[in-house]
Structure 1
Amino acid sequence: MGAGILAILVLVSSTVPGGERLEQVRAYTRGVEFDYAGWMLAALWDKGQQWALSAPRYWDEKTQRQVVEDWAALTREVQALRAESARIFADPSVSDPQTAAAPVLARLRAREAEQARLGALSEEILQIQTRAVLAEMGLTYGKQAVPSVLYRISKLPLALVVSPREVIRQDANISLLPDMGLDEITALEQRVEQELGVSALVVQIGGVAVYPAMVMETTNLVYLTDTVAHEWTHNYLTLRPLGMLYDASPELRSMNETAASLAGKEIGLRVLERYYPDLVPPPPAPPAAPQTQQPPAEPPAFDFRAEMHITRVEADRLLADGKVDEAEAYMEARRQVFYANGYVLRRLNQAYFAFHGAYADTPLGAAGEDPVGPAVRALRAQSGSLREFLNRISWMDEFADLQKALQP
């Protein structure tokens, strides 16, 4: 538990960005901010009790896998029961929804209790499996991951992201209570924008690298193994210069997020290959052989990442020319294009790109022409293993270090 306490102290100080802008924004959010310290202490206490009573570490792999799969199936049932109860209460033709929903709610309570029991076991199993894979990949010390892999399924806080209007840059990222309604969210965004003259957006997140890490509820084990590994990588980096300086510059933030995304995918895939091989995603299909007679041309499918890249590049160009109003009108017009093609984006503004643009583990997308993502990917391609890559990038404290590492 000593490593956990150390991680709490480091993480609390390194994940809260400083600066005057942050304090200006917090004047509007103090009453609805998420309590990380309280959550982490409660989660660590629960994890300590689970470890003392832990049975999964003595089970064989077949039993461990069955428990995880049972938990995923049960979680799907719980989610369906929640949706059914919500539908009953929303149906105007139901005169007494409380009575009509009573059998559903009774079953939901019973299944949620079983879900909580299996959930604790499932978390312990996935932690054990991830630690074993980290040892196989050489990312441990004496077969011990530092920090140890700890995560907890939880309702995740929302994040209020703030960017200047004149340039895309994250100046604040403040965690908010997870149960805020859409009316509260939009009112907060409007107030911050109008009174501070900035771009604001409240976004949902998939995980938070506190300790234990917070991970959203999902039955998708491909996503879950990736996210657990992604957040562990952040915990790992936080004990080194790159993670400690997460908020020192936009470039360092992007280096952190892109490195964690690359590592999360590699580690998560290895967990699947080792323990859940039937869930491993199929490899990309090879390019089709050229045809002498071309079929009739069809309209190209809408490529979200390519279209978002185009949007970011043009928005950056307009902002660089000082055309702030034009850039904002352009982004709203593009949001409507995305909506027409099945992608529901509530808002598309500078804050959207400031947040999503830091995740540049794959080409194109919200990062636009930002050179950081391609540089991180190049360093990974240049490194012989994930261990070598993380060991190199984790000790960097500025983007210039990365650029220098890539010089021939």
Structure 2
Amino acid sequence: MLKELRSRSLRAFKFTLAGVCLLVLIGTRGDAMRLDAVQEVAAPYSYDIITWHLQNFLSKWTHRVVRAIPGAGISSEDRLARVEEYFALSVDASRFKSNIDRIAANASGAGEAGLADSENELKEVRARKRKLRADVEEAIESGISEVARAAGLGVVGEFIFPPVDIRLTEPPKVLVTSPRDRIERSLEVLVDPHVDVGDREAMESRLLESEDLAAIVLDIGGVATYPASLYDGGSLRGTLRTATHEWLHHYFFFGPLGQNMFKSPEMQVLNETAADLAGRELGELAYRFLGGALSDDKQTTAPVRASPAEPPRQPGNEFDFDTEMRETRRRTDLLLTQGRIVDAEEYMEQQRLRFVANGHPIRKINQAYFAFNGTYAESPGSASPIGGQLRQFREGMAGVGEFVERIRGVSSYGEFLSMLDEDGDR
């Protein structure tokens, strides 16, 4: 029995190793010469993606081999219990961190004892999460693998290819740039997740002054490294959706859609939005597979409250984030089209202050902010029609598996539009 388990683990390891050797290209492909200006500015905060791939891939497989040894495994019930505990601890961690931030902001020095207590409790919670992490990751990977298999995606014998592989951690941030006279995703680079606000502002200012580029450092929920790097402070449902989104990028990479992702802005939007749509659908199926009754609906971050000075809102006059952001994008595009760059930038800052006053603490809105968010066509910061086009495309298919397979075979935006027209004529 032990020999059989070891043999199976070895076969799976070899299979996955072949995948990681190919998937590492996702993080390293691109024209390095084009990134010189941004890489130079970000060099002190650079994120070593190659080391990430190697260290985390080997670490996760060590755990899998250990779990394959008779007597070292855990039951599915125990694994689900660990999943529930892990995400409950995420709520606790968020609460302790909020307490630390609140006490630290008190310039009088009062509450130092409470600060030490919260810091110690946060350390204990994080230590417990680290112990649970590998089993929780495997539960999530198994859930996504099962729904992918049921949808007919990536099935090769008894395996899913590429194998679903995630790491719950703090993902890198991304430094994004855009020309100032238009909204267009340009040079970008991943940076260390712990870079502070002052250093972010310094990088952005330097690129503005030296390269005349709008720049912004943004948090991201995940990145398609291998294993995929995912934010570890979210809910189970949100984590499953993000994990599935990143796995779909891995899956798309082995087809025309992923191979042509950076051939045009439209293809990048098509990739990201297809992964969003299918990721939500498959992620929801994985959530149900794992047992959607798990205590997942607890809020993992403290709600952002409006300023006390803000007057009470009148019924029917609520601030709608999506509506306001779409209007901000529309008006900004118009001003830039008219060549009124400074006016557009002043308008974006005025709007940012409105968002902050209404409980949405956005640090910066500029051309790069919209360029990044515009890649996700269903984002309110996007002006792309691709979101609606993909929804229309999906509606003509019986299942999400068919949708993923058909969109995976698309090599250009024009080809996608032709397919959409053909489906509409039927």
| Residues 75-125 of structure 1: per-residue CA shift (max 9 Å, x gap) | 33344444445555555555895x775555555444433321111111111
Q: Specify the SS of the correspondent of 2:160.
A: coil
In the alignment, the residues of structure 2 paired with residue 46 and residue 199 of structure 1 have an alpha-carbon distance, to the nearest angstrom, of 38
Which of the residues 284, 288, 299 maps onto 1:269? 284
In the alignment, the residues of structure 1 paired with residue 119 and residue 344 of structure 2 have an alpha-carbon distance, to the nearest angstrom, of 48
Aligned to 1:51: 64
Q: Specify the SS of the correspondent of 1:277.
A: coil
| Residues 162-214 of structure 1: per-residue CA shift (max 9 Å, x gap) | 01111111112210011111111101100001110111111000001111000
In the alignment, the residues of structure 1 paired with residue 261 and residue 30 of structure 2 have an alpha-carbon distance, to the nearest angstrom, of 9
Q: Specify the SS of the correspondent of 1:342.
A: coil
In the alignment, the residues of structure 2 paired with residue 301 and residue 79 of structure 1 have an alpha-carbon distance, to the nearest angstrom, of 27
Deviation at 1:375, TM superposition (A): 1.8
Q: Specify the SS of the correspondent of 1:131.
A: helix
Aligned to 2:310: none
In the alignment, the residues of structure 2 paired with residue 59 and residue 124 of structure 1 have an alpha-carbon distance, to the nearest angstrom, of 11
Q: Specify the SS of the correspondent of 2:220.
A: coil
For the aligned residues, what is the CA RMSD?
2.6
Amino acid across the alignment from 1:155? E
Aligned to 2:317: 300
Judged with a 3 Å threshold, the aligned counterparts in structure 2 of structure 1 residues 230 and 102 are, in CA distance, closer, same or farther, namely same
Contact 1:7 1:235 in 2 (8 A): no
Aligned to 1:158: 173
In the alignment, the residues of structure 1 paired with residue 42 and residue 352 of structure 2 have an alpha-carbon distance, to the nearest angstrom, of 27
Aligned to 1:294: none
Select between 128-137 and 1-10 the one with higher mean Cα deviation. 1-10
Amino acid across the alignment from 1:384? A
Aligned to 1:22: 35
Contact 2:103 2:111 in 1 (8 A): no
Is structure 2 residue 203 aligned with structure 1 residue 191? no
Deviation at 1:21, TM superposition (A): 4.3
Q: Specify the SS of the correspondent of 2:293.
A: helix
Deviation at 1:242, TM superposition (A): 1.4
Gaps of 5+ in 2: 1-12, 298-313
Judged with a 3 Å threshold, the aligned counterparts in structure 2 of structure 1 residues 187 and 133 are, in CA distance, closer, same or farther, namely same
Contact 2:153 2:405 in 1 (8 A): no
In the alignment, the residues of structure 2 paired with residue 62 and residue 96 of structure 1 have an alpha-carbon distance, to the nearest angstrom, of 42
In the alignment, the residues of structure 1 paired with residue 221 and residue 168 of structure 2 have an alpha-carbon distance, to the nearest angstrom, of 10
TM-score (norm 1): 0.87
Q: Specify the SS of the correspondent of 1:374.
A: helix
In the alignment, the residues of structure 2 paired with residue 338 and residue 17 of structure 1 have an alpha-carbon distance, to the nearest angstrom, of 35
Contact 1:14 1:244 in 2 (8 A): no
Aligned to 2:5: none
1:60-209 alignment, distance < 5 Å: 60-84=75-99, 91-94=106-109, 97=112, 105-141=119-155, 142-209=157-224
TM-score (norm 2): 0.84
| Residues 318-345 of structure 1: per-residue CA shift (max 9 Å, x gap) | 2222222222222222222222222121
Deviation at 1:38, TM superposition (A): 0.5
Contact 2:166 2:228 in 1 (8 A): yes
| Residues 271-304 of structure 1: per-residue CA shift (max 9 Å, x gap) | 12222233698xxxxxxxxxxxxxxx94332221
Q: Specify the SS of the correspondent of 2:381.
A: helix
| Residues 206-227 of structure 1: per-residue CA shift (max 9 Å, x gap) | 0011110000112411111111
1:279-290 alignment, distance < 5 Å: none
Contact 2:26 2:225 in 1 (8 A): no
Identity of aligned residues (%): 30
In the alignment, the residues of structure 1 paired with residue 215 and residue 203 of structure 2 have an alpha-carbon distance, to the nearest angstrom, of 9
Which of the residues 354, 359, 376 maps onto 1:337? 354
In the alignment, the residues of structure 2 paired with residue 203 and residue 105 of structure 1 have an alpha-carbon distance, to the nearest angstrom, of 26
Contact 2:82 2:135 in 1 (8 A): yes
Judged with a 3 Å threshold, the aligned counterparts in structure 2 of structure 1 residues 397 and 58 are, in CA distance, closer, same or farther, namely same
Judged with a 3 Å threshold, the aligned counterparts in structure 2 of structure 1 residues 113 and 249 are, in CA distance, closer, same or farther, namely same
Aligned to 1:33: 46
In the alignment, the residues of structure 1 paired with residue 276 and residue 269 of structure 2 have an alpha-carbon distance, to the nearest angstrom, of 10
Deviation at 1:270, TM superposition (A): 0.6
In the alignment, the residues of structure 1 paired with residue 54 and residue 376 of structure 2 have an alpha-carbon distance, to the nearest angstrom, of 29
Deviation at 1:143, TM superposition (A): 4.6
Judged with a 3 Å threshold, the aligned counterparts in structure 2 of structure 1 residues 161 and 61 are, in CA distance, closer, same or farther, namely same
Contact 1:14 1:247 in 2 (8 A): no
Select between 190-199 and 86-95 the one with higher mean Cα deviation. 86-95
In the alignment, the residues of structure 1 paired with residue 279 and residue 205 of structure 2 have an alpha-carbon distance, to the nearest angstrom, of 35
In the alignment, the residues of structure 2 paired with residue 342 and residue 85 of structure 1 have an alpha-carbon distance, to the nearest angstrom, of 21
Aligned to 2:309: none
In the alignment, the residues of structure 2 paired with residue 378 and residue 89 of structure 1 have an alpha-carbon distance, to the nearest angstrom, of 50
Is structure 2 residue 371 aligned with structure 1 residue 358? no
